[in-house]
Structure 1
Amino acid sequence: MNGFFRTYAKLLVLLLIMAACLLPSACSLLPEEEEELAPPLVQPATIAYKTEAVTRGTLISELKMGASFVPEIQESLSFQKQGGRLKKVYVKYGQDIKAGDLLAELDAESLLSAIRIQEINVEKSQLALSKLQTDGASSYDIKIARLNLKQQQYSLDDMNQQYAATQIFAPFDGEVVYATSASSGDYINAYQTVVKVANTTALLLVTTADDASDLPIGAMVSVEFQKQVLTGEVVANPTTLFNDPIESLRDAAIIRIQGDNPKEAEMGDSARIIYVIEKRENVLILKRSLINLMSGRRYVNVLEDGVRVEKDVEIGLQTDTEAEIVNGLEEGDLVIVN
């Protein structure tokens, strides 16, 4: 009996110990487990934006192109009625000439011989007519003699015209801007340019830039030449020169300087033409590189209270580098560059 109670008592004590371990305070009797540490909080990196402010100013859309001074009056000279063997070219490139100077001629010795013979024939016909008139010949004989003299004179005149066509004379005072490299004895075709002369005191500006056709006739342009700013007027463009006999001018625009040409200007000198297409003052201006275009939508990234915000914009006048902002931004708005 005593053994039973002792066994029962041991079981009771064991149950009490187990029940005590289930209580929170009792768990302190056991080894404490370490608490798990919370992961450290990662602070987001601060983004440093580079910005440019929207400003007001004057926006100018303009064309700029190079041009060269060329003679207003120039002429290509050739043997127009006939070709032949070249006798001599009497001038060279860059040489000053006077109106009436002999520039070049063909070999016409055989023609000169024929002219001298024909001059004799004319003189003989004149003598024959005079004798008939002195001798009181019939009106018929005198008329025949007169017709013979006229025929001989016509032949002489024709020969002289042929001889004149073998020579080239300067049509005006100026300068030789081209002379053929052909040598004496070389064959020269009719209408082949032998000499080109120009009046270098009267110069025009010619530009063959791709956008020369955008210069309207009558438009006033600025001309920059050797630190001088001159005013010029467009007097011709490709719409009027498309059929010009000088092929190089068909795609060109021609500008005449207002007033006297600068004394320093010489044929071949370069200048710069500036034509203002449109000018707008006191408008919002932004670099075109900051304006994004996607599917027809134009927008910019603006910094507002440290946050990047997309804003749609409407643009107006544009230049190569800048654009007018019509809607979407205000003066002073900070547009993100990077």
Structure 2
Amino acid sequence: MSKWFWIALAAGIVVVVAIIVTVVVLRTDSQDDTVTVTRGDVDVTIESVGTVSMRDATQLIAPATTTVELISVIPGDEVREGDVLIELDREPFDETVEEAENALEEAEANLSLLNEQTDEPTTAESIAQRVQAQQIVDEAERALADAEQALSESLVLAPTDGTVIHVAIDEGDPVPQGTDLIQLAELRQFELIVNIDEVDLPLINVGAETRIILEAFPETTIESEIYSIARRAEMVGGTTVFPAQVRFDAEGDLLILPGMNAEVEITAEVRRDVLVLPEGSFQTVGRRTFVNVLEDGDIVEREIRTGIRSGGMVEIADGLNEGDEVVLP
């Protein structure tokens, strides 16, 4: 055989080997660029912000128009039930009690006088006078009881154990009846009001899990849940929202105070033990979503249906099985 035959044969062998190597490399590369369909949990979370406020705070008000004489506490003080918090000027209360006593005395005297007129014939008019006089006595007795109650409230006492959150007045201030004086609360029970966009509202129910991160304590996560959701919308910055209440208790030694800012993550929807793939594992063209699946060394296109997405993972609702190898696009 001529040398050209051997040269041609050698060249052919080189080409065949090159083709085989190329196929192997391509298959190896394809296998390297695959992801496996696995099972996992997918949680949809919605983020919001809120400001900490006290839960079930007690607001004490002035029982009558008077002047503040003495304030015995400052914000942050812990108090016991019955402790004196504020002393109000007693003079207006004493005057009211005296006026009520005089009015009652006069009403009783008038009723007694009518009852003593037994020698006169009983008429409808005399009966009506006695009934009216008795009503005036009853009203005077109630007025005196109210005045005495107000007098007792000139000493503003703590109605329960708690912490002084806010003192709204200063010593010497004149205070009309109903003026806010002092606010008490249990300083371990708090709440947040977070706004839920109307678009997200169908995903969130009372009892949904929440994670609270206070700006003052960024390394601490407080677990809680949605306590209530308003049924009336509000407009905030041009967006329709529904306020939701999140309740939580202080944990450990955290010094949580009203007014602190917090970020809140709400778990809106959860899928447990479902098929998942990473984002970017599939392609969408028009209304079709599909993947390339590696089957016995061949790449096969397969249409799929996706579900919820979270944290870079996507729920695969249909079209794939656990363990399928998906070639990345």
Q: 2:328 aligns with which of 321, 330, 335?
A: 335
Corresponding residue of 1:98: 80
Pair 1:289–1:75, CA change in 2 (3 A): farther
Cα shift at 1:240: 6.8
Deviations 1:304-332 (Å, cap 9, x if unpaired)?
99999876432134324211234455611
Instruction: Read off the aligned partner of 2:194 and give its amino acid letter.
Output: T
Corresponding residue of 1:169: 157
Report whether the alignment pairs 1:58 with 2:34: no
Q: Distance in 2 between matches of 1:242 and 1:278?
A: 25
Corresponding residue of 2:309: 318
Identity rate of aligned residues, in percent? 17
* Secondary structure class of the residue paired with 1:91: coil
Corresponding residue of 1:37: none
Corresponding residue of 1:198: 185
Instruction: Read off the aligned partner of 2:116 and give its amino acid letter.
Output: Y
Cα shift at 1:280: 3.4
Pair 1:52–1:237, CA change in 2 (3 A): farther
Q: Distance in 2 between matches of 1:289 and 1:187?
A: 69
Instruction: Please give the residue correspondences for 1:129-278 in structure 2 after superposition, counting only pairs within 5 Å.
Output: 140=116, 156-164=144-152, 168-180=156-168, 182-200=169-187, 203=189, 206=192, 208=194, 210=196, 214-218=203-207, 221=209, 234=226, 236-239=227-230, 251-255=243-247, 262-264=251-253, 267-268=256-257, 275=267, 277-278=269-270
Q: Distance in 2 between matches of 1:93 and 1:314?
A: 58
Cα shift at 1:99: 1.7
Corresponding residue of 2:13: none
Structure 1 unaligned residues grouped into runs of 5+:
1-45, 130-136, 244-249
**Aligned residues between the structures:** 265
Q: Distance in 1 between matches of 2:310 and 2:143?
A: 71
Pair 1:295–1:271, CA change in 2 (3 A): closer
Instruction: Read off the aligned partner of 1:51 and give its amino acid letter.
Output: D
Structure 1 contact 67–273 (Cα < 8 Å) conserved: no
Pair 1:306–1:150, CA change in 2 (3 A): closer
Q: CA RMSD in A?
A: 5.4
Corresponding residue of 2:271: 279
Instruction: Please give the residue correspondences for 1:19-98 in structure 2 after superposition, counting only pairs within 5 Å.
Output: 51-63=33-45, 72-79=55-62, 82-98=64-80
Instruction: Read off the aligned partner of 1:210 and give its amino acid letter.
Output: I
Name which of structure 1's ranges 287-296 and 110-119 shifts more when overlaid on structure 2: 110-119
Instruction: Read off the aligned partner of 1:172 and give its amino acid letter.
Output: T
Pair 1:326–1:96, CA change in 2 (3 A): closer
Cα shift at 1:55: 2.8
- Per the normalisation by structure 1, the TM-score is 0.54
- Per the normalisation by structure 2, the TM-score is 0.55
Cα shift at 1:291: 3.9
Pair 1:83–1:62, CA change in 2 (3 A): farther
Instruction: Read off the aligned partner of 2:163 and give its amino acid letter.
Output: E
Structure 2 contact 71–85 (Cα < 8 Å) conserved: yes
Structure 1 contact 301–309 (Cα < 8 Å) conserved: yes
Structure 1 contact 173–199 (Cα < 8 Å) conserved: yes
* Secondary structure class of the residue paired with 1:73: coil
* Secondary structure class of the residue paired with 2:56: strand
Deviations 1:219-264 (Å, cap 9, x if unpaired)?
5x47689999997565x22147989xxxxxx71233567xxx8554
Deviations 1:173-211 (Å, cap 9, x if unpaired)?
11111221x33344545544332111235x356462637
Instruction: Read off the aligned partner of 1:75 and give its amino acid letter.
Output: T
Structure 2 contact 224–248 (Cα < 8 Å) conserved: yes
Pair 1:78–1:208, CA change in 2 (3 A): same
Pair 1:51–1:105, CA change in 2 (3 A): farther
Structure 1 contact 215–237 (Cα < 8 Å) conserved: no
* Secondary structure class of the residue paired with 1:157: helix
Bigger Rg, which one? 1
Q: Distance in 1 between matches of 2:71 and 2:204?
A: 41
